[in-house]
Amino acid sequence: MEMNSTGWSKDDHIVLAVSTGIDSMCLLHLLLNEYQHTYRKLTCIHVNHGLRQESAEEETFFKTFCEKHHIDYYIKHLDLNNIVEAGNSIQNESRQYRYDWFDFMMKKLKADVLLTAHHQDDQIETIFYRLFTGRFTRSTLGIAYESNRQHYKLCRPLLNISKDQIKKYQSEFHVPFYEDTSNHKNVYVRNDIRNRILPAILDNEQLSIDHLLKLKSWHDQELETLRNLASQFIDEKALIKANQTKITIPRTSFNQLTDNVKVHVLDQIFEKISLATSISDKMYQSWFDQFASQKSQFTIDITDKWIIQISYDTFIIMTNTEMNDVSSIKVIETPHTYHFGDYEIIIQSDFPLEQLPLTIRTRQNGDRFLLNGSENKHKKVSRLLIDCKIDAIERNRLPIVINAEGNVIAVGQLYINKNYKHYINIRNIGDE
């Protein structure tokens, strides 16, 4: 039986996850015989879930086999009683526990490659599962031969081998194994696919699983294209603050993307900011409809910490601290460089001292300023902010500079009184 051993080299320390079922035991038999020259060291690991009466027997069998063949081995006992009592998914939770332990062991052993015994029937089962449950729009359609984890590589060398081939190999070489009887119960969706749907397809001569494998290949290539387009959009269009608490995206450019690319743009951004919440396709579609609407300003709550602020032709993904970061009043008595929130305000050394002190604060109701070129015509600060399409959050962060006489002489970068243009320089350094 020819498996795919391209995922590791002769110098690698490989670790095999052994359940004691026919698949992992046949893989172990291959590694000890035909493929014994393909690695430097082999270690086996086993997880005892403690959910079946046979678990203790399987553990004993595993120990005996490894000791007989002089293989280093490790065993992990899981306590899943709390999961069972809470009614949570045992399959999902136990898988997470297993891989957490795998990560720990691979680091402890300083091993290079972890092997699992997933085979072609598992591949077909996964394709069916993701198709029928809608779990394919943002992930690969099936199982990858290899994937990179924290500090090691995960390989599935039997992925091109069918269950029937494994059974024939076991029969030919009399490979010992333990049968997990729970796999025959159609309690879980995957078991139902494995035991009822897949056999019916294999029995029909007009149906071929090869077409599913081709579909997986095509789908995964298209998925990679979508991810690349999303990454390119982020690189070219998104303005990401250095501390990643604020990401600004042009609304029109985003709306021109296909919905599939939009999903991956947001997925990648949320991954960058370590947003743990998973956003559903339905929720994304609701957002896209709002982005494309005629509303000029509104806010979408993502989590307790993160929001999306839509303002005219931009939308900003930001933390609540960014939104609420309103600086206190500053009183300036000497020329110098000052910081007010995200703004740097430089008061030149030749600033007229009789005009000091200056006050820097955020806007207040009734604020107005003298229009440049006019002796007595004023304009409200609120009107200026509307005309310049400044979003609601930025309006409450913009520095307003007041001279000693109580007159507004600067409004952020939007306005500086003509008599002070040579003395005051204001710039936004928040996105640098």
Q: Tell me whether residue 404 is in a domain.
A: yes
Which segment, 51-55, 60-64, 196-200, 244-248, is predicted with the most confidence on average? 60-64
In this structure, what token pair is assigned to residue 134? Answer: 């809608």
What's the average model confidence in pLDDT over 96-109? 95
45 contacts 14 by C-beta, under 8 angstroms: no
Q: Tell me whether residue 7 is in a domain.
A: no
Answer with the residue of higher pLDDT: 299 or 40: 40
- Pairing relationship of beta strands 424-428 and 415-416 according to DSSP bridges: unpaired
Q: Tell me whether residue 393 is in a domain.
A: yes
Which among 38, 154, 56, 177 has a CA at the least distance from the CA of 105?
Answer: 154
Segment 347-399, tens digit of pLDDT: 999 999 888 999 999 999 999 999 998 888 999 999 999 999 888 878 888 99
Q: Tell me whether residue 60 is in a domain.
A: yes
Q: Tell me whether residue 213 is in a domain.
A: no
Segment 173-227, tens digit of pLDDT: 999 999 866 555 555 677 888 888 888 888 888 888 899 999 999 999 999 999 9
Can you tell me the distance from the alpha carbon of 46 to that of 59, in angstroms, rounded to the nearest whole number?
A: 8
Can you tell me the distance from the alpha carbon of 95 to that of 281, in angstroms, rounded to the nearest whole number?
A: 25
**Burial label, 413 (beta-carbon count in 10 A; 0-12, 13-18, 19+):** middle
CATH code of the domain covering residue 175: 3.40.50.620
- Candidate from 26-40, 173-187, 218-232, 308-322 with smallest mean pLDDT: 173-187
Domain boundary among 323, 351, 385: 323
* Whether pLDDT at 327 is above 60: no
Contacts of 102 (CB under 8 A, 6+ apart): 15, 17, 45, 114
Query: What pLDDT sits at residue 188?
Result: 65
Q: Tell me whether residue 214 is in a domain.
A: no
Query: What pLDDT sits at residue 324?
Result: 56
What's the average model confidence in pLDDT over 269-286? 89
Which among 355, 408, 415 has a CA at the least distance from the CA of 390?
Answer: 415
Same domain, 82 and 169: yes
How confident is the prediction for the chain on average, in pLDDT?
90
121 contacts 160 by C-beta, under 8 angstroms: no
Can you tell me the distance from the alpha carbon of 7 to that of 145, in angstroms, rounded to the nearest whole number?
A: 8
In this structure, what token pair is assigned to residue 381? Answer: 């600060």
Same domain, 185 and 277: no
- Pairing relationship of beta strands 297-301 and 246-250 according to DSSP bridges: unpaired
Can you tell me the distance from the alpha carbon of 254 to that of 238, in angstroms, rounded to the nearest whole number?
A: 10
CATH code of the domain covering residue 228: 3.30.465.60
Same domain, 246 and 140: no
Domain boundary among 323, 343, 365: 323
Same domain, 303 and 372: no
Can you tell me the distance from the alpha carbon of 373 to that of 284, in angstroms, rounded to the nearest whole number?
A: 49
371 contacts 414 by C-beta, under 8 angstroms: no
Domain boundary among 323, 345, 363: 323
Q: Tell me whether residue 316 is in a domain.
A: yes
Same domain, 173 and 252: no
Which among 372, 358, 347 has a CA at the least distance from the CA of 424?
Answer: 347
Same domain, 185 and 231: no
Q: What is the DSSP letter of 195?
A: I
Query: What pLDDT sits at residue 265?
Result: 97
% the chain with pLDDT above 90: 64
Domain holding 379, by residue range, is: 330-428
Same domain, 35 and 53: yes
Per-residue confidence band for 83, with pLDDT thresholds at 50, 70 and 90:
low
Same domain, 319 and 338: no
What's the average model confidence in pLDDT over 48-62? 87
Q: Tell me whether residue 218 is in a domain.
A: no
Same domain, 254 and 133: no
424 contacts 346 by C-beta, under 8 angstroms: yes
CA atoms within a 13 Å half-sphere pointing along the CA-CB vector of 99: 13
Same domain, 243 and 269: yes
Same domain, 188 and 78: yes
Query: What pLDDT sits at residue 213?
Result: 92
Strands annotated E in 256-394: 297-301, 306-311, 314-319, 330-332, 337-340, 343-347, 358-361, 368-370, 378-380
The H-assigned helical ranges of 110-139 are: 120-133
Same domain, 87 and 106: yes
Number of independent structural domains in the chain:
3
